[in-house]
Amino acid sequence: MKSKLLLTALLSVSLLACAQETPNVRHKKKNTSAKTTVQKPKFVNAIDPICDMKTDSDMKDTVVYKGKTYGFCSSYCKDEFKKNPEKYAQK
């Protein structure tokens, strides 16, 4: 009987010790003093040279060719442009 009581007491103490709250973690504050502005790229082309769709300033498929940024509606059109950029850059 004493061993059951002692075992119960030890288990209770162990459970109470494990049930304590986790410590508060203080994260470093973000450095808000440096303001960064992300500028949208300006595309040379208003229309995708591969499929003739209009280009938007938020397109993610872009290629820089001879210092100029070209926008594309899809990765397929971008890859086609890369195969022969001279042909499509003159459009």
DSSP state of 64: E
Cα–Cα distance for residue pair 20/84, rounded to 1 Å: 66
pLDDT of 13: 67
Q: In terms of pLDDT, which residue wins out, 11 or 66? A: 66
61, 77 Cβ separation under 8 angstroms: yes
63 confidence band (pLDDT: 50, 70, 90): very high
77 confidence band (pLDDT: 50, 70, 90): very high
Q: Which amino acid is it at 60?
A: K
Cα–Cα distance for residue pair 72/11, rounded to 1 Å: 65
